[in-house]
Amino acid sequence: MGMRKPKSREFKYDIMAVGAHPDDVEHGIGGSLIQWRKMGMKIVILHMTGGEMGTHGSKGTRRKEALAAAKTLKCDVDFLGLKDTEVRFTIETRNKFIRAVRKHRPRVIVAQYHDYPRMHPDHEQTGLIVKNAFRPCRFAQIKTPPHAPHWVENIYWHLFPFDMKPSFVVDVTDVMPAWEKVAACYESQLDSIPNYRERLMRFRRLAGAHIGVPYGEAFLCDVPLNATGVDITRFSPDPDYKEEERARGSERSPQRRRDR
């Protein structure tokens, strides 16, 4: 039996989480990845570079850390192999990225925003590559054998300027201890960069404030979400909720959360 060509809307993953350097995704939106894994979503993390030009940690160390973080998150992981500090949007890097998307076939891509000059230039360029690959991924005339064209449904941006209003925020308060474990996989970065840990927490407090919870992770999308089937009546957590749950003396399950 020959290998069957996948249809352009056949998915292998729910989410492809893209970051320029190993740790960008896990430190930036690791809590959301944990929440989405709890919902049963399949996730692949794509690191554009090996982080080899970082001030702290060798390429080997950072690769090992990336593998450990993915394992802790129960996500798959891949490396695009671009050069750290030299990520640039070109047709060549776009096509390289298209190849990776077609190989992994995600429903949606989550990536660093393409316009945030205060950040590492690799982050913006990563966003530009993703933005420019989104539609051409479908084009049959761009050949990436053996991988067939693929339709990505949407892009959700993370790591965007504070004065931009998020399109949605994921409450990560309950998974902060689990996130700490994931974040700690990147020992070479977490406590070597001055104020880094505090900065990660500041981002989460700010995002959380948008939805009235202690810690959140914020996302931006260019087009509205299709909210059919989503419970749009729930905004902030019911303050009595945790008390009620404690009184019931049982563990939270996603089902109960939906039913309350």
Q: Is 76 helix (H, G, I), strand (E, B) or coil?
A: strand
Distance, CA of 68 to chain centre: 16
The interface region with Zn ion, picked from 34-42, 113-121, 150-158, 240-248 by CB under 5 A, is 113-121
As measured in angstroms, the least distance from the Cβ of 54 to Zn ion is 8
As measured in angstroms, the least distance from the Cβ of 212 to Zn ion is 29
> Contact, 12 vs 42, CB < 8 A?
yes
For 102-162, the three-class secondary structure string (H helix, E strand, C coil) is HHHCEEEEEEECCCCCCCCHHHHHHHHHHHHHCCHHHCCCCCECCECCCCCCEEEEECCCC
Other residues' Cβ atoms within 10 Å of the Cβ of residue 180: 13
Residues in the interface with Zn ion (CB under 5 A) total 4
Closest CA to 102 of 11, 199, 202, 223: 11
As measured in angstroms, the least distance from the Cβ of 125 to Zn ion is 11
The interface region with Zn ion, picked from 35-43, 114-122, 170-178, 200-208 by CB under 5 A, is 114-122
Residue found under tokens 């894994």: 37
Cα–Cα distance for residue pair 48/81, rounded to 1 Å: 6
Query: Does residue 124 bind Zn ion (CB under 5 A)?
Result: no
Query: Does residue 25 bind Zn ion (CB under 5 A)?
Result: no
Q: Which is nearer to Zn ion, 68 or 148 (CB)?
A: 68
- The residue within the footprint of Zn ion, chosen from 15, 20, 33, 73 (CB under 5 A), is 20
Q: Which is nearer to Zn ion, 130 or 137 (CB)?
A: 130
Cβ-closest position to Zn ion: 21
The interface region with Zn ion, picked from 28-36, 79-87, 112-120, 126-134 by CB under 5 A, is 112-120
Q: Which is nearer to Zn ion, 35 or 112 (CB)?
A: 112
As measured in angstroms, the least distance from the Cβ of 180 to Zn ion is 19
Question: Tell me, what amino acid is at 177?
Answer: P
Q: Which is nearer to Zn ion, 84 or 174 (CB)?
A: 84
Query: Does residue 24 bind Zn ion (CB under 5 A)?
Result: yes
First-to-last alpha carbon distance for the chain, in angstroms, is 50
Q: Which is nearer to Zn ion, 18 or 152 (CB)?
A: 18
Q: Enter the tokens of residue 86.
A: 């030299």
Q: Which residues would be at the binding site for Zn ion (CB under 5 A)?
A: 20-21, 24, 120
